[in-house]
Amino acid sequence: MLRIQLLFFAWLALAAAQDISTQEKRLLADNGTLSLQDGRIVGGWETRISYFPHQVSLQKGARHICGATILAPTIVLTAAHCLTSPNEPQLYVIRAGSNQWSSGGSYHRVRRIIRHEQFNLPTPMNNDIGLIQLQEPLTYSDNIKSIPIIAPMDNVPAQAQLFVSGWGSTSAQKMQTASSLHYTAVVQMDRQRCTQNYYSAATVTNTMFCAGSKSGQGDRDSCLGDSGGPLVTPVDGRFKLLGIVSWGLGCASAQFPGVYTYVPAYTNWLAQTVTTLT
């Protein structure tokens, strides 16, 4: 098992083997002033795909339904709950390399979908993770790149700044897809408090984590339409994937922060699943 996991990390490193982009360097350099800006993911800012080239739009029936993350030229990661028709991959496409979910970049059809076999078990929204295999490989560019997953040896401080991006609603009151890519900055929230707050509504398992506004006021969050998308954090000067937008009660609530799938908990599952793709 350990050998499979190590080979998987080596495969991811090879798939994501490119220098950090100029745009990513600029974003990381500027993140200390983000709190001085205003805008509305909820409480976020419009951005360019070149800052988040690992982000893609997952679409069904010619409409954006979820975000997703590029792991390799033919492998995309998203939330299991976004994949409601796993046996009908022909219904899905992704758009990569564009600020707009509805135009630009490149359009790619799906070959195969694999949801975690224990999704929603033993509690609702548990194991909210799934893989998408594309029919043709992506062509990498400044706007289309894979991202590595946080590895066991990576140091992520408790209050590290985390970035979540997507085309989801920019308002907790007005639930509609944003036309342009947005992002916001959040931090991990206290697990015990988050679990207690959600106790009567749902279970926060040990493969999930909560993240929200550093101020604790609930003024920043992912929202409807951001599901399945990436939550990333800088490690040694470049972004790595930490979480998948999964669930929550409402958007931008101080009491109920966003809940994310903890991707490093699934490296064994990912490694084994990737070996089944031909």
Q: Which two tokens stand for residue 261?
A: 């799938």
Closest to 83 measured CA to CA, from 62, 107, 65: 65
Residue 174 makes CB contacts below 8 A (sequence gap 6+) with none
Among residues 57, 169, 213, 227, the one annotated as catalytic is 227
Among residues 54, 64, 128, 222, the one annotated as catalytic is 128
Maximum alpha-carbon separation in the chain: 48
Cis link prior to 73 (omega < 30° from 0)?
A: no
Catalytic-residue membership of 81: yes
Among residues 54, 57, 64, 81, the one annotated as catalytic is 81
CB 131 within 8 A of CB 149: no
Q: Which two tokens stand for residue 151?
A: 């590895």
Catalytic-residue membership of 128: yes
Cβ-in-10-Å burial (0-12, 13-18, 19+) of 30 comes to exposed
Q: Which two tokens stand for residue 164?
A: 């979540």
DSSP strand pairing (208-212 vs 182-188):
antiparallel
Residue 168, φ and ψ in degrees, nearest 5: -75, 180
Q: Which two tokens stand for residue 36?
A: 């001085």
CB 172 within 8 A of CB 43: no
What gap in Å lies between CA 262 and CA 71, rounded to an integer?
15
Closest to 163 measured CA to CA, from 275, 241, 274, 253: 241
What gap in Å lies between CA 150 and CA 163, rounded to an integer?
14
Q: List, by residue number, the catalytic residues.
A: 81, 128, 227
